[in-house]
Amino acid sequence: MTHCSHALSRLIVDTTCMMPRMKPGDELLLKRFCSVHDQLRSGDDIACSTNDGRLILGQFCQYTGRGLIVRQLVRESALHIDYARGPILYRISAVIHPKKPTMIPARSVLH
């Protein structure tokens, strides 16, 4: 993962417990989120890396005074990610299925 705002990163899905509409082997194209003009909306698919080495996939809910809230399907309640964990947000901009190598826009792109 990178801090560069213009970088497009790739991530291969190895489990579907967080995002069941994605399958193992799918390739996610991630765009570093930083533009004030490109606000995240509730329900946007995101990846969030933290300074403890975790990568969290889920749907963005909202910002709070102490961090941000992400919804994951495996959890009953939303996950709060504190700013102290140094979250770096990436918008999931597309999903590429290996059996059908066409790029499918992610939910956040369809708004």
The model's pLDDT over 23-50, given as tens digits with 9 standing for 90+, comes to 778 888 888 866 555 678 888 888 888 9
Residue 62's pLDDT band (cuts 50, 70, 90)? very high
Instruction: Tell me how far apart the alpha carbons of residues 8 and 76 are, in angstroms, rounded to a whole number.
Output: 31
* The predicted structure's pLDDT at residue 7: 59
Do 110 and 43 touch, CB atoms closer than 8 A? no
Instruction: Tell me how far apart the alpha carbons of residues 19 and 23 are, in angstroms, rounded to a whole number.
Output: 8
Average per-residue pLDDT for the chain: 77
* The predicted structure's pLDDT at residue 38: 62
pTM (two decimals): 0.72
What mean pLDDT comes out for the span 59-88? 90
Domain boundaries, the chain: 8-110
CATH level 3 topology of 8-110: Umud Fragment, subunit A (2.10.109)
